[in-house]
Structure 1
Amino acid sequence: MRSKTVKPLNEELVGVDAALRRAAKAAQALARKTKTPCYVWKDDKIVDVTLTKTRRQVSITTKHQ
């Protein structure tokens, strides 16, 4: 979910948000294609976004036992 669009203070920074989103999407696609992890900071935790939801839940429960 994206927050409100904020007008940048500097005109040179207008396309930075879109460029970062494109780069993140490309990095995730490459990680899935090469079966390598792609970690992001989400909800105060480091999460591998290439794992499917069920695999992520299994890996979390096995680490905490």
Structure 2
Amino acid sequence: RLDGTVVADAVVVVGAKAVDTDAVVAVVAVVAVVVVAVAAVEDVAEDVAEDIAEDVAEDGEEMQAQMVQ
């Protein structure tokens, strides 16, 4: 996954070469939004995966407990 600081550094380098600062600001803003959005989606996906794993583990324990009885 792209680290936000790496992307920001790359954009700053490109920005230093560009003449149109407004365009650079717009690009930086878009990149920042994308980086934040990707990070948020990944965090949610990890949480969901953990929840599912916990549910499966709990269901498995319940089934084993029922079999023993």
What TM-score results when the alignment is normalised by the length of structure 2? 0.34
State which structure, 1 or 2, has the greater radius of gyration over its C-alpha atoms: 2
What TM-score results when the alignment is normalised by the length of structure 1? 0.36
| Bigger helix share | 2
